[in-house]
Amino acid sequence: MNQAKKLIWTAENELTQYSTEARKIEKLRRQFSFIVPYPEQKAIRKEIEVELPKNFLAKLVEENRQMVALPFWGIGGLGLLFGISSQEPLNFIAAAIGFYVAFQVQKWGWELQAKRLVIKTLDAIETSVKASKKATIAE
Distance CA 83, CA 93 (A): 9
CA angle 110–114–120, rounded 5-degree value: 145
Q: Is pLDDT at 56 greater than 70 in this prediction?
A: yes
Distance CA 130, CA 79 (A): 56
83, 70 in Cβ contact below 8 A? no
110, 12 in Cβ contact below 8 A? yes
Q: Is pLDDT at 68 greater than 80 in this prediction?
A: yes
Q: What is the pLDDT of residues 13-47, one digit of tens each?
A: 888 888 888 899 999 998 888 888 888 888 999 99
Tell me the chain's radius of gyration from C-alpha atoms.
Answer: 20
